[in-house]
């Protein structure tokens, strides 16, 4: 059985990827330090799976990671472990430097010390390109990050590139747009709005809600990651984009409409509430996805309508997901209870 490591496998995308890879008959080693966004609900039925093993470990623990590499001899690593919330990066940038820059550096050093070839898929974001007011950013678009989050992701991408060139580590970088779907920590826009709709609370939207993001269902992202692992070219970047852009206000309106179609008992409190904007808030991200389409024949399959509807159902049917989040984490940097 082929063994792969997923770092950050207890978080949102990581836990979806772990389940996808298990379905595809890989033996999956999850390395995660279980920070606040690692909800135990995300991996709840996995401990009995004989093809899955979990290590509670920080990426910065190079010696232990090297031991895992020596013991399991995986053929690949999907590196998703990171601090991921832009708001938190504004308040506590060091956590982002620790996980995203130093963590990636230590992972690269562990791979070097292992001395055998392991393919590294380093999962990055569209946010590294910064504001894309017009058109769409392709893989040659200059990195121009705006937040401590995106700048630490950009920095880790540069480190990966340098290790490919200098030490011949076989690595590929992927830049994906915003994901939504099951298991997402409810400080992020879509699960936050769904939670508030279910709980009859106002829907906080930054500024006037005009910021535009490109949206992809997490299952589409997982499929693209495995394809890139199998067929992608070493040393390259691949944008993973859906081509579907929506303003935040329109996401909120769509979710309200879905709730009404489901005859949810929502009251007058569930109204869009504009709140003071986040500093350095990029207006728009938009990826050009021609490369992955042309070179690997891949495009996203899940429409936003279907994906949002399924996602809403998932959160409705998995109330224990929300219950597994400690209450104190339900407050964001503006003090808004989510």
Ligand X SMILES: NC(=O)c1ccc[n+]([C@@H]2O[C@H](COP(=O)([O-])OP(=O)(O)OC[C@H]3O[C@@H](n4cnc5c(N)ncnc54)[C@H](O)[C@@H]3O)[C@@H](O)[C@H]2O)c1
Which residues would be at the binding site for ligand X (CB under 6 A)?
A: 7-8, 10-14, 32-35, 37-38, 58-60, 80-84, 99, 103, 123, 125, 153, 176, 178-179, 185
E-assigned strands of the chain? 3-7, 27-32, 52-56, 76-79, 119-125, 171-176, 178-180, 203-206, 212-217, 237-240, 245-247, 272-275
Q: Looking at beta carbons, which residue is closest to ligand X?
A: 11
Rounded to whole angstroms, how far apart are CA atoms 279 and 87? 9
Tally the C-alpha atoms within 13 A of residue 40's C-alpha that lie toward its C-beta.
6
Task: State the nearest-atom distance from the C-beta of 61 to ligand X, in Å.
Answer: 8
Of 105, 149, 163, 285, the catalytic one is 149
Of 127, 220, 223, 282, the catalytic one is 127
Q: Is 138 a catalytic residue?
A: no
Rounded to whole angstroms, how far apart are CA atoms 250 and 322? 24
Q: Is 305 a catalytic residue?
A: no
Judge contact between 244 and 180, C-beta under 8 A. no
What's the start-to-end Cα distance of the chain, in Å? Answer: 43
Of 32, 58, 83, 126, the catalytic one is 126
Task: State the nearest-atom distance from the C-beta of 177 to ligand X, in Å.
Answer: 7
Rounded to whole angstroms, how far apart are CA atoms 16 and 183? 8
Task: State the nearest-atom distance from the C-beta of 252 to ligand X, in Å.
Answer: 17
> Closest CB to ligand X among 13 and 270?
13
> Coil, helix or strand for 141?
coil
Q: Is 220 a catalytic residue?
A: no
Task: State the nearest-atom distance from the C-beta of 159 to ligand X, in Å.
Answer: 14
> Closest CB to ligand X among 13 and 259?
13
Rounded to whole angstroms, how far apart are CA atoms 78 and 67? 17
> Closest CB to ligand X among 12 and 312?
12
> Closest CB to ligand X among 65 and 266?
65
Q: Which residues are identified as catalytic?
A: 126-127, 149
């Amino acid at each position: 059985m082929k063994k792969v490591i997923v770092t950050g496998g207890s978080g949102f995308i990581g836990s979806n990827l772990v389940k996808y890879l298990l379905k595809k008959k890989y033996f999956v080693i999850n390395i995660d330090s279980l920070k606040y966004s690692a909800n135990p609900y995300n991996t709840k039925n996995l401990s009995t799976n004989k093809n899955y093993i979990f290590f509670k470990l920080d990426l910065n623990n190079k010696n232990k990671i090297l031991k895992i590499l020596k013991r399991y001899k995986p053929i690949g690593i999907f590196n998703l472990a990171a601090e991921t919330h832009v708001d938190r990066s504004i308040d506590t940038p060091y956590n982002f430097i620790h996980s995203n820059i130093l963590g990636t550096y230590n992972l690269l050093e562990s791979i070097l010390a292992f001395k055998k070839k392991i393919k590294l898929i380093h999962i990055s974001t569209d946010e590294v390109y910064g504001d894309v007011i017009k058109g769409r950013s392709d893989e040659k678009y200059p990195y121009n990050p705006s937040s401590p989050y995106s700048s630490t992701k950009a920095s880790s991408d540069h480190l990966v590139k340098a290790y490919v060139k200098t030490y011949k580590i076989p690595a590929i970088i992927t830049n994906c747009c915003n994901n939504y779907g099951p298991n997402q920590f409810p400080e992020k826009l879509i699960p936050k709005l769904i939670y508030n709709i279910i709980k009859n609370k106002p829907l906080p939207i930054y500024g006037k809600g005009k910021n535009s993001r490109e949206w992809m269902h997490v299952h589409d992202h997982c499929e693209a990651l495995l394809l890139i692992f199998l067929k992608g070219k070493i040393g390259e970047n691949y944008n993973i984009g859906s081509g579907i852009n929506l303003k935040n206000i329109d996401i909120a309106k769509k979710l309200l409409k879905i709730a009404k179609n489901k005859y949810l008992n929502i009251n007058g409190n569930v109204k869009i509430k504009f709140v003071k904007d986040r500093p350095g808030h990029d207006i728009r991200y938009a990826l050009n996805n021609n490369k992955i389409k042309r070179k690997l024949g891949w495009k996203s399959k899940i429409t936003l309508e279907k994906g949002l509807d399924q996602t809403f159902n998932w959160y409705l049917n998995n109330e224990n997901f929300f219950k597994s989040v400690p209450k104190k984490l339900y407050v964001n940097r503006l003090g808004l209870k989510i």
